[in-house]
Chains A and B, each alone.
Chain A
Amino acid sequence: MAASEASSAATATATATTLRQAFGGVLSFFILLLIGVLAFSIRLFSVIKYESVIHEFDPYFNYRVTQFLTKNGIYDFWNWFDDRTWYPLGRVIGGTVYPGLTLTAGTLWWILNSLNIPLSVETVCVFTAPIFSAFASWATYLLTKEVKGAGAGLTAAALLAMVPSYISRSVAGSYDNEAVAIFALIFTFFLYIKTLNTGSLFYATLNAISYFYMVCSWGGYTFIINLIPMHALLCIVTGRYSSRLYIAYAPLVVLGTLLAALVPVVGFNAVMTSEHFASFLVFIVIHVVALVYYIKGILSPKMFKVAVTLVLSAGLVVCFAVVAILIALVASSPTMGWSGRSLSLLDPTYASKYIPIIASVSEHQPPTWPSYFMDINVLAFLVPAGIIACFLPLSDASSFVVLYIVTSVYFSGVMVRLMLVLAPAACILSGIALSEAFDTLTRSIKFQLPGISGGNSEANAGDASSASASAQNDVIKADKTEETAKERPSRKSKKKEKEPVEKPPRNPRNEKKLLVLPFEASIVGIFLLVLLGAFYVVHCVWAAAEAYSAPSIVLTSHSHDGLHVFDDFREAYAWLSHNTEVDDKVASWWDYGYQTTAMANRTVIVDNNTWNNTHIATVGTAMSSPEKAAWEIFNSLDVKYVLVVFGGLVGYPSDDINKFLWMVRIGGGVFPHIKEPDYLRDGQYRIDSQATPTMLNCLMYKLSYYRFVDTDGKAFDRVRRTEIGKKHFKLTHFEEVFTTHHWMVRLYKLKPPKNRLRGKTKKLKSKTSSASNSKRSGKRTKNPWQ
């Protein structure tokens, strides 16, 4: 009878475990689903507070490309030569764009439309980023699960779903490459780790495909193709070489490079530029190591030593020769085969020294400390704990995560934009830290609560399931815990001998892994952790709602009489698109190029794809030249309208006057007659009465402040908080054709050249000679197109 009882109890526990596992599976499935919903919905603040509209600058270009793709199909897309931008050069869009995002949204749109769900391309584009951030948080779950088990995975996924740094790039409407690329990045890393843990060629192939998708999506793929070789090298150096590592690495390099070369914008760069050299170098190294291991296996130790000395002496000579050739090849190119952006990563001062156009972009500046707190918040404090957790014990997977965080911290320190790469790493490590802490605390509470000793086995099941996930590579971990475990139970057993009355725990397995904390301390610890998490959630929601949701083409301000909307940009673009000729060319600073082509459908001279420095410098020169010279430059470029952004009336700080010094610098970099000191008074940039005459006579100043004095009689600039220097002036070569409601965008038309009348030209000449400096610069300014 007792026997049957026992056996039934055993089967009951067995079914209970399977039930619990099934329940755990369903539970984590629903948690993941909710995390996806959270990731999606926290990014909808922009749609709710503003409207469903594409944000900022680059997304407008992507949107325009997607429109073209959906209208004309994939083949026309590859061959698309865009004559609306970079006039008169044009741009080969199909060959110069990372097509991943566009193809993704285009495919989404196509699927929806073939299911007869009539969504507009714009709607699909607006919601692509939130959808992919849900995918990204699921990918984070998978990656962290491979590293530290399901619990850490869920925590990391929840953290990533709302990390402000990622939200800033993926709110609804922020239709940019990064939105898709972060998912691809995490997923590629997941597949790498998965391959590393399983040694399965299937995952290795998937990994190469995922890498291909990443290459399609973002220039940041170089991060992957440098980080993974670094990790492989680290594994080899620390003696962790295994066949799994070989399978994880070699197919990725071969397949990945072949696939990457298929993307037109990468093409032969995949084998020619220095960004990819590391992967090939490590590819060679891993083969050498594999060979060494193989030979070691078939030779006796003595023979092996002989072979090593033989090969080393011969191999070194060959190596030196090869390295010398490589260095010679690389050194022969001026930038050592590195692209400007990569160089500015390796040498943070490079851009400001040589390429002002890269330095002029605000997101390429190094971040400040508060921006770390703003963008990753409490994760900044949890990351060190996570790193420690990764070292207990160190496995292939956890060493990868540590390497990832270290490199991404460096990169984020160089460029604020790369904070985005740091965010997933920070989330993963914080997830690990939080989950480990919770594990320890809850387990010690459970252990000390006598009432729920029956729950021990439950904890066991959780342990077992989480442990089994990370088991394969955690052999060392097992060893270590055994060591520590041996000490503690022996002490316990001594205690037991003294008090034989004490009931031994039913399953000592539970007890041995425990780092038991005092009961009260655990309660307080849990409380504090929950508080920390709550603080993080509050901060993230605030960041999503207030800081990162503004579409930047519509501005709002709260005043005493309610919400005030500044919709000036679209007002100007709508005016341009309806009231100018289709082929008119519009000149503006390059920031507004994408928006002008997308919203106003007019040809622009330069745009946000800053591929031609000279062209941008020409526009910069025109903006910083006096009116006549500027007119000549613009006229030679066929420009009909000039667009300037002016915030002085309403206090909009990122206007053209504030960006003007960059125009001078970039213009001066190519056309030396533009000199930055001419625009500065004692090294200070000012537009008030102390400003230099060059400044007060340049086109940008005149177009911004034309008739500004008539608004309030004093011409008080609300952004610079000063009265402007030169108040009353007339335009001779330009005429105002449109100014928006809040004066934020002003459009000028180039006047047609005057008929040559003898008397008049003489008069004009005498006028210009009276204005001394304008004559000087006027004479020296040469039209760069002649």
Chain B
Amino acid sequence: MKMGFRFDLLVLAVALLSTPALSDLVLTRVDRRVDLTSHIVRITSTLKVENTGKDSVSEVLLVFPARQVKNLAYLTALSSTGKGKAKTAAVNLPVKNVNSEGMPPALVAYSVSLPEGGLGKGESFTFDVSVVFTHSLQPFPEKITQADTQLLVFEESAYFLSPYAVKVQSLTVKLPHPRVESYTKLENTKIQGSEIKYGPYENLAPFSYSPIVVHFESNQPFVVARELVREIEVSHWGNVQVTENYDLVHGGSQIKGEFSRLDYQARPHIRGAAAFRNLIAKLPPRAHSVYYRDAIGNISTSHLWGDARKTELEIEPRYPMFGGWRTAFTIGYGLPLQDFLFKSGGKRFLNISFGSPISEIIIDTLIVKVVLPEGSRDISVSTPFPVKQWEESVFFMQTKFSHLDVVGRPVVALEKSKVVPEHDQYFQVYYKFNSISMLREPIMLISGFFFLFVACIVYVHADLSISKSSASYLAKVQWEEVQSVIQQVNNLINRCLTVHDKLDASLRDLSRTGDVQACKTARKQADGLLKELSKELKPLLSILQTSPQAVQILPKVEELVVKEKELQDKLMVKHTTVVECYEKKVSGREIENRIASQQNKITALRQEVDDLLDFIDEL
């Protein structure tokens, strides 16, 4: 396979050499630095362009082989105005993809627009181009055992591929380790520690190409997210909730043969060198409620540190990730709203980072969904680099229904493939939102409960029987009447009984004080009361007698009334006897003897009356 590539390159080089120069620009100096210390390939080139032609030129073309463009994730050009100054004054130069005529089909060209009307005759200009590639390091061999270290192959051209002539150029390849399996040796190649230097080469024709291959050892974590879905949910109650669903794979050499936990545990750095066991995610400061879980529950192997500038989350997948192994998990965290939501000109905008917080990760497909609060309008998005929106001109391809939503929350979905840490830039979502809408859900809840209680009250107080004339309904009504009447009867009897008690009490007073007169007045009062009561009782009894529902209960009630009457009579007799005795000054013992039999009867009667009352009560 590698040979195939090489052959490919050779053909390409031949094709390139035959194409003519495109313009009169000359690259007077090109310095390229290739950083291979992680699995993301970063090439930074410093280009010095000089215009040797007559017309002023406004743009410079950069070309890449199509094979590389497939993996090209990120491309920027920075002009450093003022040579001595630091890059703080760097200006981003616009870069765009062009399909210029006469370019060989195996090449893809990008044009860098030069500032201020372009480059005049004889002028020169220096700028930096930084390019990031994903998946351009090929593991070789492709399958290794647990104990082997991982070897990678990197392919590039020793000469800067350009449509222009290059005067002086050099190439530096920085490796993670000094251990290099092999590398292409050209003239002027030297290796210094973990750096391989090619060049300087001078006076190269346009489209010069000389393939080099570096085969080196790298045990850097080969973290590739095949898909990452980030959901950013804005709540105006003060929280921005971020949920990130990762589908992760170790993109390096695949493991073959046995995986022995024993070997891995005994010497993890030798028998598992190519594996990675943890990831570091740098979350924004003041991130809270951080969680880390997967489809089957919480993953307990994570640590969280935080200070004023950042929050660092270290997560370990459930198992060490060897080459080719996959895993999937979710991390989520809340962020304070005021750090990310701002207002400008009547609109609000969310300013939040686009990429993943995990360091040195390649994301094949990144989908960012921004869920705005219910009732947001006039939504627009601004991103620092082109992304695919899921539907042209209609941002919210979907609405999300969350807690008690009625119309749903608008969702802005952005998709981008080949995302590298360089993409971790801020993007903005502008929208209009009325703060009153925040109260919609609380009011809905309150009114919901209110109407529930009102319904309860109405239900309790309303008579919901279907037919007012049906037999059972009438019976029920009558029965209720009867019950109330019986209740009244009971009350009356009870009052009679209290009167009896009073009479008794007066007798006791009599025995203590000997005040016959007081006793007599009490007796009079009692008589009056009892008469009234019996008067009140009569209509109630007549109601009971007429009502058909009371047939069962009537005999008991009547019995009660009769017994009560009897009791009353007996009591009166007793009272009279006692009072008379006192008037005759009979001794206490004598009185007791006289009324003893009466007292017995009274107690028995009282007992019966009580039982009857109980019985009627219990109905």
Chain A positions within 8 Å of B, measured between CB atoms, are: 2-3, 6-7, 9-10, 14, 51-53, 115-118, 464, 467-468, 471, 478, 482, 486, 489-490, 493, 497, 500-501, 504, 506, 508-509, 553-554, 565, 567, 570-571, 573-575, 578-579, 599, 707, 710-711, 735-741, 743
Contacts of B499 in A (CB 8 A): 6
Q: Which of A501, A711, A739 contacts B508 (CB 8 A)?
A: A501
Q: Are A570 and B318 in contact (CB under 8 A)?
A: yes
* Given the contacts A51-B298, A578-B327, A710-B262, A6 and B401 also touching, CB distance less than 8 Å: no
Contact between chains at B617 and A567 (CB < 8 Å):
no
Chain A hits for B297, CB < 8 A: 51-53, 553-554, 570
Interface pair A53/B326, CB less than 8 Å apart: no
Could you tell me if B528 and A3 are in contact, using CB atoms closer than 8 angstroms?
yes
Contact B401 A599 (CB under 8 A): no
Tell me whether B258 and A735 are in contact (CB under 8 A): yes
Q: Does B59 contact A (CB under 8 A)?
A: no
Q: A118 near B402 (CB under 8 angstroms)?
A: yes
Query: CB distance A500 to B592 under 8 Å?
Result: yes
Instruction: Determine the chain A residues whose CB is within 8 A of the CB of B327 once the complex forms.
Output: 574, 578
A14 partner residues in chain B, CB cutoff 8 A? 491
Indicate if the CB atoms of A738 and B529 lie closer than 8 Å: no
In the assembled complex, the Cα of A9 lies from the Cα of B499 at a distance in Å of: 12
On whether the beta carbons of A741 and B495 are closer than 8 Å, the reply is no
A506-B501, A573-B296, A574-B294 known; A736 and B260 CB under 8 Å? yes
A567 touches B318 (CB 8 A): yes
A736 contacts B318, CB within 8 Å?
no
Look across to chain B and name the residue whose beta carbon is closest to the beta carbon of A579: B325
Q: B404 on the interface (CB 8 Å rule)? A: yes
Q: Hey, which chain B residues are within 8 Å of A570, CB to CB?
A: 296-297, 318
Q: Which residues of B are found within 8 Å of A500, using beta-carbon distances? A: 508, 511, 592
List chain A residues, Cβ under 8 A from B610: 508-509
Please give, as numbers and ranges, the residues of chain B lying within 8 Å of A710 by CB-CB distance: 262, 266
Which chain A residue shows the least CB distance to B247? A578
CA distance A252 to B553 in the complex (A): 33
Bound form: Cα–Cα A14–B495 in Å: 12
Known: A467-B618, A710-B262, A736-B260. A118 touches B401 (CB 8 A): yes
Assess whether B359 is interfacial by the CB under 8 Å rule.
no
CB distance from B469 to the nearest CB of A (A): 22
Assuming A567-B318, A738-B261, what are 7 further A-B pairs, CB within 8 angstroms? A51-B297, A116-B403, A489-B603, A509-B614, A575-B325, A739-B262, A740-B319
- Expressed in whole angstroms, the minimum distance between the Cβ of A496 and any Cβ of chain B is 8
* B382 part of interface (Cβ distance < 8 Å): no
Among residues of A, the one whose C-beta sits closest to the C-beta of B505 is A503
> What B residues does A493 contact at CB under 8 A?
599-600, 603
Whether the pair B498, A565 counts as a contact (CB closer than 8 A) is no
What CA separation (Å) do A563 and B599 show in the bound complex? 80
Min Cβ gap A150→B in Å is: 15
B532 touches A741 (CB 8 A): no
Q: Which residue of A lies closest to B406 (CB)?
A: A116
Q: Bound state CA distance, A53 and B299, in angstroms?
A: 12
Bound CA span A617–B511, Å: 96
B261 touches which of A117, A118, A471, A740 (Cβ 8 Å): A740
- A53-B294 contact given A468-B618, A735-B257, CB 8 Å threshold: no
Name B383-409 residues within 8 Å CB distance of A: 401-406
B383 CB to closest chain A CB (Å) equals 28
**B528 contacts which chain A residues (CB < 8 A)?**
3
CB contacts (< 8 Å) of A735 on chain B: these are: 257-258
Give every chain B residue within 8 A of A554 (Cβ-Cβ). 297, 300
Measured between beta carbons, the chain B residues less than 8 angstroms from A504 are 501, 504
- Residue pair A118, B259 in contact (C-beta under 8 Å): no
Chain A residues with CB below 8 A from B325, complex form: 575, 578-579
- What is B's interface to A at a CB cutoff of 8 Å? 257-262, 266, 294, 296-301, 318-319, 324-328, 401-406, 491, 494-495, 498-499, 501, 504, 508, 511-512, 525, 528-529, 532, 592, 596, 599-600, 603, 606-607, 610-611, 613-615, 617-618
Task: Known A501-B508, A508-B606, A508-B607; judge A574-B296 contact (CB<8 A).
Answer: yes
21 contacts between A and B (CB under 8 A): A3-B532, A7-B495, A53-B298, A116-B404, A464-B617, A478-B615, A493-B599, A493-B600, A493-B603, A504-B501, A567-B301, A573-B296, A575-B325, A578-B325, A578-B326, A707-B262, A710-B266, A736-B258, A739-B259, A741-B261, A743-B261
Chain A residue contacts of B300, Cβ below 8 A: 554, 565, 567
Contact, CB under 8 Å: B607 / A489:
yes
* CB closest chain-B residue, reference A11: B491
In the complex formed, the residue of B with least CB distance to A119 is B403
Distance (whole angstroms) from the CB of A655 to the closest CB of chain B: 16
- A370 to B589 alpha-carbon distance, docked (Å): 68
Q: Which residues of A sit under 8 angstroms from B404, Cβ to Cβ?
A: 115-117
Determine how close the nearest CB of chain A comes to the CB of B496; give it in whole angstroms: 10
Q: Which residues of chain B come closer than 8 Å to A565, judged between CB atoms?
A: 300
Give the distance to chain B from A470, nearest Cβ to Cβ, in Å. 10
A175 to chain B, nearest CB (A): 13
**In the complex, which residue of chain B has the Cβ closest to the Cβ of A599?**
B296
* Residue in A9, A578, A737, A743 whose beta carbon sits within 8 Å of that of B259 in the complex: A737
Which chain A residues lie closer than 8 Å to B599 at the CB level? 493, 497
Q: Which residues of A contact B617 (CB under 8 A)?
A: 464, 468
The complex places the Cα of A707 from the Cα of B271 at a distance, in Å, of 16
The 8 Å CB contact of A571, one of B318, B406, B495, is: B318
Contacts of A53 in B (CB 8 A): 296-298
Q: How far is the CA of A622 from the CA of B495 in the complex (A)?
A: 89
Interface centre among A3, A573, A707 (most CB of B within 10 A): A3
Task: Report Cα–Cα, A478/B606, bound state, in Å.
Answer: 18
Min C-beta distance of B241 to chain A, whole Å:
12
Q: In the docked arrangement, what's the CA distance between A599 and B294, Å?
A: 11
Given A10-B494, A506-B501, A599-B296, A574 and B405 contact (CB-CB distance below 8 Å):
no
Residues of A within 8 A of B596 (CB): 497
B residues within 8 A CB of A553? Answer: 297
B258 and A737 contact, CB distance less than 8 A: yes
B296, B403, B617 interface centre (most CB from chain A within 10 Å): B296
Question: Which 4 A-B residue pairs are closest in the complex by CB-CB distance?
Answer: A739-B261, A53-B297, A578-B326, A51-B298
